[in-house]
Amino acid sequence: MKTYKIFILVFIMLFGLNVYSQKRLIEKGNKEYFVYNYDRAIRLFESVDNKNIEIERILADCYTKIENFQNAKVYYLKILNKPERTFDDVWHFFQVLLILEEYSEAMKLLDTLSELNPSDTRVIAYLNDTTYFEKLKQNEPIFEVRNLRMNNSQQDFAPVIYHDNVVFASSRNRQGLISRIWNGNRLPYLNILRARIDYDDELKRVKTFDRKFIKKFHDGPACFNSDGTLMVLTRNNYGGKSADGTRHLQIFTSELVEGRWTPPVSFPYNNPEYSVGQASLTPDGRFMYFASDMPGGKGGTDIYKIERRIDGTWGTLENLESVNTEGNELFPYYHSTGVLFFSSDGHPGLGGLDIFVTSSQTDVSGQIKNLGTPVNSSKDDFAMALNNELQKGYFSSNRIEGKGSDDIYFVNALKPLKLRKIIKGVSKDKQDNIIAETMVKLLFDGVVVDSTLSDSLGRYEFPVETFGLYHLTGDKVGYIGGNNIADTDVPEEIIYADIILDRIPVFALHILVTGKNSGLPLENVKISLVNISSGVDEVIYSSVNGDFSRVLEEISLNDTLNYRLKFEKERYFTVFTNYSELVDREGIYEIKEEMLSYDDLRIGDDLAKIFKINMIYFDLDKHNIRPDAAIELDKIVEIMNQYPSMFIELGSHTDCRASISYNIRLSDRRAKSSAAYIKERITNPARIYGRGYGESNLVNRCECEGTRAVPCSEEEHQMNRRTEFKIIKL
């Protein structure tokens, strides 16, 4: 029993020591990982017995950092099968598979990535073309690539052409200084070096750029304006560390004055909590592009643009959103031809960082192109710099066939590097008639990327990125249509795509109101317009020219215009009229109306003629007022109520058919019946009376009695059947 208790006690002590030992391993491993000592962190974490997912993540990242991608894959496979896996876990595994050139296996992860984050633009881009890597490998190379003889086991990268030299960042031993080792790659800290470009484009006579820029930590890379008088330098923050103990990168500027570089001036966006660096200047030094992981960016590291004013102060910071992804965009290089080279692990590539180029004049908004092999590989390829002719230059890579951590490679263009093509066209109609000043818009992936007005000959053109399908639209008042497609993925440098438009038929309504006697236009006439077909009624007013115009957008050919109108103006008699016409042609449809002024009326005038009152009809041998007759009589009521001092004789006339006495009696009954209708609706009913004239006042020769009988047509007899409203007193 005593022996058993001793065994239990020893077991508990050993177990406790093991738990303590495991805890110490994790603590030490985290400490080494935090200071970028990945080899030691791996040894410590590999000794942990029961590794949780956090330790597996650290080990996968450490193996990735030391470029042992097979071991990184082993740990990512373990993580992938755990329910706690995240989008970042799967994405990092995806990137490792690309570096291992296991492209088909990487593509199998896209559905999982899309489920975990369907809005990630990197995943969307890869899903849009899952065989892109085959095209990048099979496309005809743009450049030939050569590893330089000056490369060695040290780190050399970020070359820029400086007069007849190349300036670059390097971990080569610093002259006169004790070599200090950076944990991240177990190589010395960086310094800025220069080398002369030899006749065969090799770099010779490597030496320190300027000893005043040699300090304790990383110094480099650097860039210059075209005349070499302004330098932008990236270096560690010598002023202190971030809250978590990291010494981030910062940007400094220096100017060449009388052959000497001035003391470096800190960039205002330097901050101990994040990095800014890897700058590139436009040739005139006015704008600077750089990379940063500052808060508010789109991804891990974004590219930014900023203006440097004449007085040396800086303008507003701009994130290049069309270039940046949720991944890392690094090493921007602005070329004098207006293109921007940069490296990215967010845009579809062959693995690690790939070099991309995009066309840019004032900003970066064009199509992004992967330079393909042999410039890009499955490892990190970055920091491209070409001469003024885009013919040859240098870039950096850590590809397997290199000599060191990062090597500088020479590139030579096998053919002109044409990053733009021209889309040209003419805006015209189907009959080839030129349509000048058409607004032509250029769209890529449904987004308008450029627009212009065609000139007096209908011509337009757009400089565009290659390898893309563009859509063009045309817009001009009075025209419809105007769409076309331009495919730039063709050998030709100029792609022709015309815009064909159809003229829209124009139908318009024009109403003109004038004085009946004066013939002059009447301003501010109230016009009540009723569209009988649609039932829509509205009130409009005549202009100073007495008119009103409107384009009838809802009208098509062979429709019918059908309106009822009422015209009102102070001291003018109200006018009612109907308008109906078939739309059988393009153009303007006129409604003209004359209005009679109170002052223009005279005794003896017939209101029926003046106001276009239609014939009042009665049923055969009847004198009661029909509904259609009431409409016409209401017009007289309206007029008499407007003019309360007017007296009217309502005269009813017949044709000669039937006897004279019968016609007199019938017309008198009808006249009195019509007058009675009006009397009930006006003030002072005595102002109107009715009188039948029978056939006594014929307006033509159509008599029926005796020897004077004249045969007449129905139309001629109709002229005598009339109702007159004569003014007898004003």
Q: Which residues contact 171 (CB under 8 A, 6 or more apart)?
A: 154, 155, 156, 182, 185, 187, 188, 189, 190, 191, 405
User: Who wins on pLDDT, 685 or 714?
Assistant: 685
Q: How far is the C-alpha of 630 from the C-alpha of 481, rounded, in Å?
A: 52
Confidence of residue 16 (pLDDT cuts 50, 70, 90): very low
- Looking at residue 466, its pLDDT comes to 58
- Looking at residue 360, its pLDDT comes to 57
User: Who wins on pLDDT, 428 or 46?
Assistant: 428
335 touches 391 (CB < 8 A)? no
Q: How far is the C-alpha of 105 from the C-alpha of 649, rounded, in Å?
A: 104
Average pLDDT rounded to a whole number, residues 268-284: 92
Q: Which residues contact 308 (CB under 8 A, 6 or more apart)?
A: 285, 286, 287, 288, 314, 315
Q: How far is the C-alpha of 339 from the C-alpha of 356, rounded, in Å?
A: 10
- As its CATH architecture, domain 2-138 has Alpha Horseshoe (1.25)
Confidence of residue 9 (pLDDT cuts 50, 70, 90): very low
Any idea which residue has 């860039």 for tokens? 223
Determine the 3-state secondary structure of 426 from DSSP.
strand
Q: How many CB atoms lie within 10 A of CB 28?
A: 16
Dihedral (Cα; 47, 53, 55, 58), 10-degree rounding: 130
Residues of the chain with CATH 2.60.40.10: 420-501
- Cis preceding linkage at 374, omega within 30: yes
Angle between helices 53-65 and 87-99 (to 10 degrees): 30
Closest by Cα among 297, 292, 260, 294 to 276: 292
User: Who wins on pLDDT, 219 or 304?
Assistant: 304
User: Who wins on pLDDT, 239 or 56?
Assistant: 56
Q: What is the mean pLDDT of the chain?
A: 86
506 touches 587 (CB < 8 A)? yes
Q: How far is the C-alpha of 452 from the C-alpha of 148, rounded, in Å?
A: 47
Residues of the chain with CATH 3.30.1330.60: 601-729
- Looking at residue 12, its pLDDT comes to 43
- Looking at residue 557, its pLDDT comes to 86
Query: What's the pTM?
Result: 0.60
Residue 690 CA to its chain's centroid (Å):
75
Average pLDDT rounded to a whole number, residues 446-452: 88
- Looking at residue 509, its pLDDT comes to 93
Give tens-digit pLDDT for 153-181: 888 889 999 999 999 988 886 544 556 66
- Looking at residue 176, its pLDDT comes to 47
Average pLDDT rounded to a whole number, residues 626-652: 89
Largest CA distance in the chain: 165
Give tens-digit pLDDT for 79-88: 998 999 999 9
Question: What does residue 569 show for φ and ψ, rounded to 5 degrees?
Answer: -155, 145
- As its CATH architecture, domain 420-501 has Sandwich (2.60)
Q: Which residues contact 670 (CB under 8 A, 6 or more apart)?
A: 616, 618, 623, 652, 690, 692, 723
For domain 143-413, give the CATH number: 2.120.10.30
- Looking at residue 418, its pLDDT comes to 67
Least confident interval from 142-151, 313-322, 531-540, 712-721:
712-721
Dihedral (Cα; 715, 716, 718, 723), 10-degree rounding: 140
Confidence of residue 449 (pLDDT cuts 50, 70, 90): confident
Paired strand residues for 75: none
Residues of the chain with CATH 2.120.10.30: 143-413
Determine the 3-state secondary structure of 663 from DSSP.
helix
442 touches 464 (CB < 8 A)? yes
Q: First vs last Cα of the chain: how many Å apart?
A: 143
Would you say the C-alpha torsion 353, 359, 361, 364 has a positive or negative sign? negative
Any idea which residue has 């022996």 for tokens? 3
Q: Residue 191: is its pLDDT beyond 90?
A: no
Q: How far is the C-alpha of 381 from the C-alpha of 345, rounded, in Å?
A: 10
- Looking at residue 564, its pLDDT comes to 94
**DSSP 8-state code for residue 431:** T
Residue 221 structure tokens: 């890379």
Give tens-digit pLDDT for 545-590: 999 998 888 888 899 999 999 999 988 888 888 999 999 988 899 9
Determine the 3-state secondary structure of 581 from DSSP.
strand
- Looking at residue 527, its pLDDT comes to 95
Confidence of residue 270 (pLDDT cuts 50, 70, 90): very high
Q: Which residues contact 479 (CB under 8 A, 6 or more apart)?
A: 429, 435, 438, 501, 502, 503, 504
Paired strand residues for 692: 652
Q: Residue 15: is its pLDDT beyond 50?
A: no
Which string of b and e fits 325-361 if b means at least 16 CB within 10 Å? bbbbbbbbbbbebbbbbbbbbbbbbbbbbbbbbbbbe
Would you say the C-alpha torsion 463, 465, 467, 469 has a positive or negative sign? negative
Q: How many CB atoms lie within 10 A of CB 87?
A: 16
Least confident interval from 62-71, 85-94, 340-349, 355-364:
355-364
- Cis preceding linkage at 416, omega within 30: no
Question: What does residue 516 show for φ and ψ, rounded to 5 degrees?
Answer: -65, -40
Helix segments in 464-584, DSSP class H: none
Question: CB-hemisphere CA count at 13 Å for 192?
Answer: 25
Residue 253 burial by Cβ neighbours in a 10 Å radius (0-12, 13-18, 19+)? buried
Residues of the chain with CATH 2.60.40.1120: 507-597
- Looking at residue 575, its pLDDT comes to 86
Q: Tell me which range, 125-139, 458-472, 543-557, is most confidently predicted by mean pLDDT.
A: 543-557
- Looking at residue 95, its pLDDT comes to 92
Q: How far is the C-alpha of 248 from the C-alpha of 238, rounded, in Å?
A: 9
Residues of the chain with CATH 1.25.40.10: 2-138
Paired strand residues for 370: 356
34 touches 66 (CB < 8 A)? no
Whats the size of the chain, residue-wise? 730
Topology of the domain comprising 601-729:
60s Ribosomal Protein L30; Chain: A; (3.30.1330)
Least confident interval from 95-104, 368-377, 607-616:
607-616
Domain 507-597 coded CATH 2.60.40.1120: yes
Any idea which residue has 């040699």 for tokens? 214
Q: Residue 362: is its pLDDT beyond 70?
A: no
User: Who wins on pLDDT, 221 or 715?
Assistant: 221
**DSSP 8-state code for residue 361:** S
